[in-house]
Structure 1
């Protein structure tokens, strides 16, 4: 009996060893250039570092992830183009650049959609997120996960924003995105599309009066040095797709693809928690740095939400009807979270 058990144990050990060898052979020495726009102390960077750590552990150190923070590899659209061309392996950035290749990603930038971050997570993690990302591989991009950027809020050097009409006449830098441009034009602001890397200089030189970003971005990028007022508009809850070049993806073995996909989801789950913790503390730090904060009354936010309805209607009319229908259904589902 003991001999039989020993043989079985030896066979199991041999099978495990051969499986390990096979998996090891399926993982090649690779270096991944992973770019993003934020500084190295921002939650986006923490998510990229966590991804790199997980990938190194899962690949036995064979796959190395090199982080390029602070737009080192170019602005968002330049990095998106490099990704599609296979020059850059990975990117995490806003849905803006994806808007340019699959316009329905603009749905995620519609203003005043969410009451909390869980609703935004549920939308991109569910059927709508899957339908949108399924349109990308033919454009040279694959989305592995969605990092959290947070609720976007308006800052400026002129006055507190207490209602929609307070935006009138303000020169505001916005991400180069048609939905954002139309949203702020609704409130008679003067929105100016501009790469993020140019923002601080534009605020410092007074080329623009203000901008809109989550608290953690405002803090990490030291915008408090060139902005006086921060107003809790919470107009968009931004999620940042973790993207990988399809040209690079197609060179990977199935084992490597699964490894990167699993690592991205694990990093996403970590990054969302960290991002929201940091965001909660960032507002307090902005006040300490001298920024003047104000909430918007609920009644004024409701009015702003009503005023931007034509923005929804205009863009939805130009999108794939099947995607828009699913978007409306999903919005109703996630509103319960």
Structure 2
């Protein structure tokens, strides 16, 4: 009996000593789950690339932070996704900065860029874009991934060349986006706006004579069934961003922030390298499957590119962006 009493007394002392630390110890940090949306459907090469970033974070962030991709345009229309991030409805968005040209004219800096995203981060261009995203759209810029992918004009019928070697697209109805609308106008084509899901039907019904699109993903969307000609060289480049809710970012632990930021910086270069391989493979495949390349050369090619780059940089200049001069110095080195 004395032994049992002694055990109980010892246990009371131990519990008494431990109680203050139990009362005042901070709870273990719970794993953060961040919800993400993408501007494009999941099967598209661009969304698949974004999911590579998601996988990288999830691999490194076990027990700390995870990203859950909840969908694409079927969840929120692409044009409304950044606003959903700003309001905190979702935490992360991946998609083109050019979708928001009306609110953020500085998006043209990436479209008119002649350098890689990694180079822009090193020379201070990325920091300028961080400011634009924060001031104009109310979101935190995390990364400019999938850079270095050129746009092309694709047509159903063979485009003719003029005597000087330039391509004649006068009066051609080309599906456009805000990104290259002014460039198409400079070529005397007729820009026709349409969301991505409607383009296949538009091509099928001859609503368009052609379309502007990056060199990749034409076959993902089955547009190559109609688009049999591609005009080279490619112009401008992709402007795909990963942005995050500032409030959510501020609520994360320093460890979670570091995982997200380190992965973003690493993935800018990784996605660039991956897409260079995809571009080469796509170019070979579409030509094997019957696409004809209409190649501009010499002065005709230079004039064509001048019109493309002038269109976007002049558009930003006309917007009176206070960042115009600095952004052009950082990103335009042609």
Q: What TM-score, normalized by structure 1, do the two folds share? A: 0.79
Matched-pair contact (CA < 8 Å) for 1:30–1:63:
yes
2:216 corresponds in structure 1 to 216
Q: CA deviation at 1:253?
A: 2.4
Matched-pair contact (CA < 8 Å) for 1:77–1:97:
yes
Identify unmatched segments of 5+ residues in structure 2: 1-24
Q: CA deviation at 1:290?
A: 2.0
Counterpart Cα distance in 2 of 1:239 and 1:317: 20
Q: CA deviation at 1:239?
A: 3.0
SS at match of 1:231: strand
Counterpart Cα distance in 2 of 1:249 and 1:272: 25
Matched-pair contact (CA < 8 Å) for 1:40–1:69:
no
1:129 corresponds in structure 2 to 126
2:329 corresponds in structure 1 to 329
Alignment of 1:20-169 (within 5 A): 25-26=28-29, 28-40=31-43, 42=45, 44-61=46-63, 63-67=65-69, 71-110=73-112, 114=114, 118-119=115-116, 121-123=118-120, 126-138=123-135, 139-148=137-146, 150-160=149-159, 162=161, 164-169=166-171
2:269 corresponds in structure 1 to 269
> Cα 1:310–1:234, aligned 2, differ >3 Å: closer, same or farther?
closer
After superposition, the C-alpha distances for 1:215-257 in whole angstroms (9 at most, x for unaligned) are 2121222210121111223111113111122243233223222
2:284 corresponds in structure 1 to 284
1:4 corresponds in structure 2 to none
Matched-pair contact (CA < 8 Å) for 1:70–1:197:
no
Q: What TM-score, normalized by structure 2, do the two folds share? A: 0.80
Alignment of 1:219-230 (within 5 A): 219-230=219-230
> Cα 1:61–1:200, aligned 2, differ >3 Å: closer, same or farther?
farther
Higher gyration radius (CA)? 2
Matched-pair contact (CA < 8 Å) for 1:75–1:196:
no
Counterpart Cα distance in 2 of 1:193 and 1:61: 45
Counterpart Cα distance in 1 of 2:83 and 2:298: 41
> Cα 1:241–1:308, aligned 2, differ >3 Å: closer, same or farther?
closer
1:10 corresponds in structure 2 to none
Counterpart Cα distance in 2 of 1:267 and 1:128: 17
How large is the RMSD of aligned CA atoms in angstroms?
Answer: 2.8
> Cα 1:48–1:310, aligned 2, differ >3 Å: closer, same or farther?
closer
Q: CA deviation at 1:80?
A: 2.2
